């Protein structure tokens, strides 16, 4: 059923229309004021953008950026200070390592120089047994020691560093030198008239055959020339060519063994003129050390 408009109803409608008109008038006034302001200043009072409303006002923003930068710089400085001792110690450590390396190189060079200037002389049987013994008690060990110490004296006078080693000297293990010579003498038994002369040998399985052959040649030639003894080649035994020290010393150390003579027939030379024996040995060694032709 259709409702008939009441007086109250029509009054409400009038109030509504009046409110709309007031609102429209107010909007027009605002628009007018805005256009007047634009005309006067050329700047519209546009609403702030979303970005601008999201951040702080410009003065506060500058403060904030300044503070952030200050904190970041302080942070970097603190980290730097915290790590500085480490960097310093790393640097000091690197320096220490370099110094140690240099020291080691210097030491190695000094050792190499010393090795290059070093001569080893094994005094046969010394510190182990007497070796051959004569009826009157003269021992090979005693003769060998006399010869070895004299050789050492002469070589030292020539500027070499000389080690006089025992037969089984612990220093023989890995021994490094320009040359090693073991000094022995032959039996004191009266074998026959041929039991006279000297012998020189190197390892049967030489690790430096060229150098050791030259060493043997030098010793043989110079000792023979100095002493007048003959080379007793046919009595070179395995005791000589498989001499124990050959396998103990450093492979780069050339080595040989000499039997200076027979203690019975050659006794006048070995015991009576030890300086000649020593001179013959020394000249043989110097021939080798100086690279001279045998």
Comparing C-alpha atoms, which of 122, 255, 282, 262 is closest to residue 201?
A: 255
CA 122, CA 166: separation in Å to the nearest integer?
6
Which of 184/222 has CB closer to Zn ion?
184
* Shortest separation between residue 178's beta carbon and Zn ion, angstroms: 24
126 lines the binding site for Zn ion (CB under 5 A): no
CA angle (227 as vertex; 223, 233 as ends), nearest 5? 60
- Binding Zn ion by CB under 5 A: which of 121, 126, 131, 223? 131
* Shortest separation between residue 141's beta carbon and Zn ion, angstroms: 8
DSSP state for residue 201 in the 8-state scheme: E
177, 210 Cβ separation under 8 angstroms: no
Span from 27-35, 93-101, 124-132, 170-178 in contact with Zn ion (CB under 5 A): 124-132
Site for Zn ion in 166-205 (CB under 5 A): 184
Query: Could you give the maximum distance between any two Cα atoms of the chain, in Å?
Result: 172
Which of 89/237 has CB closer to Zn ion?
237
Which of 184/232 has CB closer to Zn ion?
184
CA 200, CA 285: separation in Å to the nearest integer?
12
202, 245 Cβ separation under 8 angstroms: no
Which of 131/284 has CB closer to Zn ion?
131
**Residue closest to Zn ion, measured at CB:** 184
Span from 16-24, 73-81, 105-113, 118-126 in contact with Zn ion (CB under 5 A): 118-126
292, 217 Cβ separation under 8 angstroms: no
Positions that interact with Zn ion (CB under 5 A):
124, 131, 184
């Amino acid at each position: 059923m259709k409702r008939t408009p009441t007086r109250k109803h029509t009054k409400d409608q009038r109030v509504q229309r009046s409110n709309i008109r007031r609102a429209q008038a107010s909007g027009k006034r605002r628009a007018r004021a805005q256009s007047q302001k634009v005309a006067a200043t050329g700047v519209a009072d546009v609403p702030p953008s979303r970005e601008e409303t999201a951040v702080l006002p410009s003065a506060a923003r500058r403060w904030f950026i300044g503070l952030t930068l200050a904190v970041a710089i302080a942070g970097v400085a603190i980290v730097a200070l915290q790590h500085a001792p480490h960097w310093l110690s790393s640097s000091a450590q690197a320096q220490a390592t370099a110094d140690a390396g240099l020291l080691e190189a210097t030491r190695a060079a000094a050792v190499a120089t010393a090795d290059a200037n070093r001569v080893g002389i094994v005094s046969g049987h010394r510190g182990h047994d007497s070796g051959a013994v004569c009826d009157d008690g003269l021992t090979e060990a005693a003769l060998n020691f006399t010869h070895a110490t004299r050789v050492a004296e002469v070589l030292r006078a020539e500027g070499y560093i000389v080690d006089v080693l025992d037969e089984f000297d612990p220093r023989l293990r890995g021994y490094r030198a320009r040359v090693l010579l073991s000094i022995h003498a032959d039996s004191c038994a009266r074998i026959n008239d041929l039991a006279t002369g000297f012998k020189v040998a190197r390892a049967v399985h030489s690790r430096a055959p060229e150098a050791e052959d030259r060493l043997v040649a030098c010793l043989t030639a110079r000792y023979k020339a100095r002493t007048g003894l003959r080379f007793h080649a046919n009595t070179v035994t395995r005791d000589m060519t498989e001499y124990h020290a050959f396998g103990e010393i450093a492979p780069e150390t050339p080595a040989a063994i000499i039997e200076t003579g027979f203690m019975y027939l050659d006794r006048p030379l070995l015991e009576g003129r030890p300086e000649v024996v020593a001179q013959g040995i020394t000249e043989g060694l110097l021939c080798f050390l100086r690279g001279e032709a045998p």
